[in-house]
Structure 1
Amino acid sequence: MQSKGVKQVAVMLLLGGYGMGSIAQEEGLPVVKVTANKVVQAEEEVPASLVVISGETLADAGASDIGDLARYTPGVSFQPFGQSGTALPVMRGLTSGATAFSSSVLMLIDGVPVVSGQGFDHNLLGVARVEVLRGPQSTLYGRNAETGVISLHTRQPDEGPYAELEATLGSRDLTSLRFDAAQALVPEQLYLGVSGEWRQQDGFVDNLSRAGEADDRQRKSGRLSLRWLPTQDTDVTLRYGRLDYRDGAAPWGRIENESRRVTSPDPGSNRSSGEDVSLDVRHALTTDLALRSITARREFHDRITQDTDLTPAQRFAMGRDQRLTTLSQELRLERQGDEGQSSWVLGLYGDRDDHQLQFEQRNPMGTQRSEATLEAENLALFGQWTLPLGERWRLTPGLRLEQSRVALTPRGSGQRSERWRDVTSQLALQYRLGDDDWLYARYAEGFRAGGFNAFSAQSGYPGYAPEEVASYELGIKGTAFSRRLRYGVATYWMAIEDMQVQQVLQPGNVHIANAAEARSRGIELDIDYWLGGHWTLQAGLALNRTRFREFEDLSGDHAGNRNPFAPDISGRLGVRYDSPQDWYAQANLSGMGKTYLDAANQFSRSGHTELDLAAGYRHGPWQLGLYVNNVTDRRFDAVGLLNGNVREYSPPREIGLRVGVSL
């Protein structure tokens, strides 16, 4: 009893005491189960900084792509890039360049890894929940889980049939049609799930050389899942998905042009597409021991053209026509222990990349075309064990042995290859303060894959080694006030060695090298609070300070400068009301600090906040919803992309009306 009282006092001091007047309410927040450690746990039991976002929250707010997650996850953002299908995440101050063909954050879609920025997208249709795990996770997840993991879990078809249709109309002639349905083909044995979307919207950058906007968007996608339960111990799911873009140009303009206007006879286009197929098999060997296999093939066709001087002369332009294919296989043995028992995971993982690369750049000197084949093979053995030490202590060690080979074959030149061996470890110690409250200390290592500069013929296509991170983290997480409050606080310090830094020599000419060291430290705070009645509150704050310790190039000494694209502060405050009369209203205020776009810290995107509002009403099978994103129409252009040549325009206010029906 004494420890519980001390814990509640500590939480009240942490929160400044608000909400104390309604502690006596008997209802509380539901228990949230996650699979961040590849076994099922309550969110509070995971010894790491973790945010869980429900699919309902995202749908009500009109979220339609992976970039929208940044509004609900402090400490997570995306580089300003402007091209659909490619997203470069930023977490705990680190990110990667587009030409690295690797990411500092791993994304999982139903357990299938997405390891590069190309294809790092999802329309969030049918997503039941999103788990965002912050901090290095390479022990369990391998390369490119350097600073965290974003895991999307879609709804599984089962005995409960459903069919949902939704239409959305909104700003700039937004039109969206969505459906998500499932049905048992053979009761208790075979189930089919199908979902799809068609979405188009006018752009917001006027093209003075042609009638209309330069950056129109159109997307269509479909997903299919076939689930088979041959016995009560075996669960087999076959999934297929496809996503196609038919976009105009990126929302770019000349750096000096603040108005959303360009003068370009041919501003560009995006005809990218993605396709994936996976087979997920789980077989229960005993009541607490299971064998899991996930086999997948992903292909992303990155196909864009882009005017980069954005004038009638069109002196500079670039284009990409690249096919990135990854085959992956994971086989693991999972033990799901009961309360007070150990849980562990032991697994093998392998993947193979086969990327066909083509890049074209036009300048006043002519047109330069680069073609190459980039291949990679990775094989890993990993394990993690959560061991109870008495009633209050837990110890979780983990280890991963991974071997990688990368080979580059430029057209007309010989093959270059490199091999690396990486050993990553983690060790977490937890102490139980109360029923649902834990203190933890965690040491973890992470790494991002090495590679080659596939388009740097003038320098001999140099290679670069993996980037490595060592992280030390302390945290406290749990529930309080009869489960009215769920909280998590983490502080961390990271050392980054062999840092992969990217230099843009001119538009389209990029070079990556292990030329820097850096240090990163920060604090993350997350709160879910049931205010009483039908009100809930969610809040989060992330403070990060990532600075170069060593980094010098031809433009100067950058020691002490911020890492590009990493804000020092980000946060959110959300409130939701769910009425007994089947209507709801929610507001979400999110923001981040100033973000630099280059290592010299010369170009930047200003700090900003965005207010998003949503409300809706449900009547029987019908649902009507209204959302307004960026209510105040806040501008936060990225001024100085591509070494100071380009301004990326931020999107204006968007209003949408959703009408849905459940059949």
Structure 2
Amino acid sequence: MKTSLDRRIPRRFLTGASLTALACAAAFVTPSTAQAADEIVVTAQFRSQNLQDTPIAITALTGEMLDVRGQTNLTDLRAPNLTAEPAPGIFGPAAQIYIRGVGQFDSNFAFEPGVGVYIDDVYYSTVFGNSFDLLDLERVEVLRGPQGTLAGKNSIGGAVKLYSRKPDGETSGFIEAQTGSYDLASVRAAGNLTIVPDRVFLRLSGKGKHVNGYIDRIDYACANPGSPLPSLVTDDTGDCRLGRLGGGNEVGLRAQLRMLPADNLEINLSADYFDSSGDPGASILIEARAAANELNGVMYGPQFESPNPYTSYATYRGTATSSYDAIAKSELTSWGLAGTIDFDLTENLQFTSITSYREAESYFVVDNDESPIPKSESIGKPTQNQFTQEVRLNATLGELIDLTVGGYYYEGNAVQGGRNLIGSIGADFVTADDVDSESKSVFAHAIVHVTEDLNVTGGVRYTDDTKTFTHTRSLVDGGFSPAVNPIDGRSATFAKDIVDYRAVIDYRWSPSFFTYAQFSTGFKGGGVNPRVFFPNQVVPFEEEKVKAYEIGFKSNFLDNTVRLNVAGFLNDYTNIQIQTSTPFFNVNLPVNDDITSPDYNPAAGSFPASVFLNAGDVRQKGGEAELSYAPNDRLLIEASVSYLKGKYTELLPQATASSLTLDMELPFAPHWQTDLGIQYEFPVGSGSLTPRLDYHYQSGSFGGAVNDPRNRLESRNILDARLTYRTADEDWEASIGVSNLTDDFFYYSKFDIFAAAGYVTGTPSRPREWFLTVKRNF
């Protein structure tokens, strides 16, 4: 039975909510993100449902709420137990997305994302290039927990689904200009066109953005007179800055064509293009250990650690055995085509087809140790393309069953290209590793309406996954690389058939109170060890699995001015995929029914080694809660809180040999997150003035699987402020605001190989920044 909120909250307050708390949450009133007048409709179960009738932990944000919060990129999103951070420069243009402590930090094509990202129900298959802009969206859905039987492709941790605003035949649109800190200059615009009245509509949207980098790249010799290191400064202005990190230029375009050739047929075609170019990714040297690498008699060591969090001494000039004058830059170009057909065969039978093709390519340069000493450098030239096809058949069988059956096909090819210079072992080689992936699945999902208020849901999916990784190595500049020739052409394959299940029971106790209990499974596909030094390290690793248990309730009360959604969960993860750096045993060691230990031991047990294996099992528990309170048309208060705690229950001997212990925590899994937002609309003349404050707290976590103080990520307390003026007709808006008002400092991520190669690098948080935005709606 569906319920809808009354019309007391203005449309611009629309936002979604999914509040998951601990067992006693029923007595705990905390705000979930507000929703309003109209229902928020989500499609998490293959059909349109009111958010409050969907037995899944979901945060749903409308496009209006994204604007109010100033969230323009996927890494700006905030939801309970969600972390979405810009990846460090070593992984190129990417976002590291985790839900409930499950995700993927490495952008190499050997790995599957732990959190699926979807654009209009099209799955994006890699972490590489996934930091999408939130331009002109109808809504965003953040689904927490495994989507093993629901989303287009299996997602073990959850899914972030972006839905574009469709053309609707009305003459409407907007244009927005913004300026701010670091010479920010941005323009965003969108508009509808009617091609054929009532039948064919077009919507165009686009953006352009420039912003300077927030980290200065400084010439060490210039900043430290008397140093024997060569200076790269070419002028006599006294400015020691060689460039910046973290800035650039972006252009994005999207076109959507919506056709209604018949009353029972809708066809949506879309095309998008994105291009960015600018500085390398933001990263600094936090800690360095003395090493044999040297230049002009100066040894690599702690003296090259960044003097402050917004300074880097990186030079991008090669190593002792090989050199290049790489252009310090990062570039990404991607485009995609998609077509969706919705055909109502009968009143109770609907067919959907979703077809897509995407390509992406990048060029980025990395000074791995962020120092002026030639120690470790790399150039990334990854390329990727994918084709997907999904078909669904939705049937309504009387008033008893809502049934969905379908199939999904994915085919992808990627090349992990680039050049790697490793001074510590005298290596200089070019890679063009080929990665071929295929995934085929069939699924069925049924909701049985036992009574008007009681539903039982079941889902099953069969998946056949295959991934082949072929290593390609060649030498350049006469460099010495003992691992190149034996590895060139070596190949391995991960292949597995997997079945996932979902079972749910939900009950609506009253028009304002809804409960559910759920069991579901999911997996993150396996792959092949991508970073090898010896041929016998070219081996596959297995899939990661989860069994998830969840209970929750969704509620509206106080005359629908409060929305509170709560849930608690328990997850049993097996085969956790972990990177290790210790060469191990010469024999397979059975650990349990799912895990065996491949022979990773190089000849004579030699280093180096960088291997991925299924390290063990983890049990997690936690909860999330969101609430919104809108007592009148002017005031809106939103809040959320989430808790997460996990521990290893079993570890492989190889994992413990790499210093992993049972009491360590999963990376990027903070125990606590809290968000609070408040805004009030004051009438001013013929318009209105709305101040808004947003506060975000996240407790500390670790940036590596092997927890160490060196990769500890600090807690954060972020306060954003915004003041918006609107005319009475809402045609004009002007906003001025400050992000990170208190200038709180932390690291988004840390890359810790201090023990193995002698350094720790990190991506600093953005400092306090101001902005001014003017928007014209029409």
Question: Which band: TM-score by shorter chain?
Answer: over 0.9
| Contact residue 93 and residue 281 of structure 2 kept, 8 A | no
Amino acid at match of 1:569: W
Equivalent positions of 1:236-315 (< 5 A) are 236-256=267-287, 257=306, 258-266=308-316, 268-315=328-375
Amino acid at match of 2:693: A
1:329 aligns with 2:437: no
Of 744, 753, 773, the match for 1:643:
753
SS at structure 2 position matched to 1:67: helix
Residue 567 of structure 1: aligned partner: 670
1:317 aligns with 2:393: no
SS at structure 2 position matched to 1:56: helix
Q: CA deviation at 1:628?
A: 1.4
SS at structure 1 position matched to 2:510: coil
Amino acid at match of 2:94: T
Of 404, 407, 410, the match for 1:351:
410
1:106 aligns with 2:116: yes
Residue 435 of structure 2: aligned partner: 374
Q: Deviations over 1:250-300 (max 9, x none)?
A: 211111433311123338321112111101110111233210000001112
Of 691, 699, 703, the match for 1:593:
699
Amino acid at match of 2:429: Q
SS at structure 1 position matched to 2:375: coil
Q: Deviations over 1:394-423 (max 9, x none)?
A: 100000011112112223415432320010
SS at structure 2 position matched to 1:556: coil
Residue 446 of structure 1: aligned partner: 522
1:40 aligns with 2:48: yes
Distance 1:66 1:28, change over 3 A: closer
Equivalent positions of 1:114-513 (< 5 A) are 114-141=124-151, 143-209=153-219, 210-256=241-287, 257=306, 258-266=308-316, 268-335=328-395, 341-364=400-423, 365-411=426-472, 412-458=488-534, 459-503=536-580, 510-513=610-613
| Contact residue 590 and residue 609 of structure 1 kept, 8 A | yes
Q: CA deviation at 1:336?
A: 5.8
Of 84, 90, 98, the match for 2:98:
90
Q: CA deviation at 1:505?
A: 7.8
| Contact residue 29 and residue 627 of structure 2 kept, 8 A | no
**TM-score (structure 1 length as normaliser):** 0.92
SS at structure 2 position matched to 1:383: strand
Amino acid at match of 1:155: R
Q: CA deviation at 1:571?
A: 1.5
Q: Deviations over 1:532-556 (max 9, x none)?
A: 3411111111100122223324332
Distance 1:274 1:585, change over 3 A: same
Amino acid at match of 1:129: R
The separation in 2 between residues aligned to 1:143 and 1:41, in whole angstroms, is: 21
Q: CA deviation at 1:234?
A: 0.8
Q: CA deviation at 1:213?
A: 2.1
The separation in 1 between residues aligned to 2:44 and 2:36, in whole angstroms, is: 23
Residue 556 of structure 1: aligned partner: 659
Of 574, 577, 582, the match for 2:680:
577
Q: Deviations over 1:605-663 (max 9, x none)?
A: 10111111122122242221122111111000257414242122111112111112124
Gaps of 5+ in 2: 1-23, 220-240, 288-305, 317-326, 473-487, 584-607, 755-759
Stretch of structure 1 that moved more, 464-473 or 544-553: 544-553
The separation in 2 between residues aligned to 1:513 and 1:452, in whole angstroms, is: 10
Stretch of structure 1 that moved more, 206-215 or 58-67: 206-215
Q: Deviations over 1:8-32 (max 9, x none)?
A: xx9883228x99xxxxxxx975421
| Contact residue 396 and residue 403 of structure 2 kept, 8 A | yes
Of 611, 634, 639, the match for 1:539:
639
Residue 13 of structure 1: aligned partner: 27
Equivalent positions of 1:616-627 (< 5 A) are 616-619=724-727, 620=729, 621-627=731-737
SS at structure 1 position matched to 2:65: helix
Q: Deviations over 1:43-70 (max 9, x none)?
A: 1111111111121222233322100003
The separation in 2 between residues aligned to 1:134 and 1:528, in whole angstroms, is: 19
SS at structure 2 position matched to 1:88: strand
Q: CA deviation at 1:143?
A: 4.4
SS at structure 2 position matched to 1:58: helix
The separation in 1 between residues aligned to 2:368 and 2:200, in whole angstroms, is: 52
Stretch of structure 1 that moved more, 307-316 or 195-204: 307-316
The separation in 1 between residues aligned to 2:243 and 2:495, in whole angstroms, is: 50
Residue 658 of structure 1: aligned partner: 773
Amino acid at match of 1:421: D
Q: CA deviation at 1:457?
A: 4.7
Stretch of structure 1 that moved more, 530-539 or 392-401: 530-539
The separation in 2 between residues aligned to 1:319 and 1:360, in whole angstroms, is: 5
The separation in 2 between residues aligned to 1:413 and 1:260, in whole angstroms, is: 42
Residue 31 of structure 1: aligned partner: 39
Amino acid at match of 2:101: G
| Contact residue 135 and residue 148 of structure 1 kept, 8 A | yes
Q: Which of the pair has more CA radius of gyration?
A: 2
The separation in 2 between residues aligned to 1:36 and 1:132, in whole angstroms, is: 10
The separation in 1 between residues aligned to 2:773 and 2:273, in whole angstroms, is: 24
Q: Which has the higher strand share?
A: 1
The separation in 2 between residues aligned to 1:278 and 1:505, in whole angstroms, is: 44
1:61 aligns with 2:39: no
Amino acid at match of 2:283: W
Residue 606 of structure 1: aligned partner: 714
The separation in 1 between residues aligned to 2:285 and 2:203, in whole angstroms, is: 46
**TM-score (structure 2 length as normaliser):** 0.79
| Contact residue 192 and residue 225 of structure 1 kept, 8 A | yes
| Contact residue 456 and residue 462 of structure 1 kept, 8 A | no
Distance 1:130 1:14, change over 3 A: same
SS at structure 2 position matched to 1:36: coil
SS at structure 1 position matched to 2:27: helix
| Contact residue 118 and residue 302 of structure 1 kept, 8 A | no
The separation in 2 between residues aligned to 1:501 and 1:69, in whole angstroms, is: 26
Gaps of 5+ in 1: 1-9, 20-26
Distance 1:88 1:51, change over 3 A: same
Q: Percent identity?
A: 23
SS at structure 1 position matched to 2:341: strand
Q: CA deviation at 1:486?
A: 1.4
Distance 1:512 1:133, change over 3 A: same
Residue 632 of structure 1: aligned partner: 742
| Contact residue 153 and residue 408 of structure 2 kept, 8 A | no
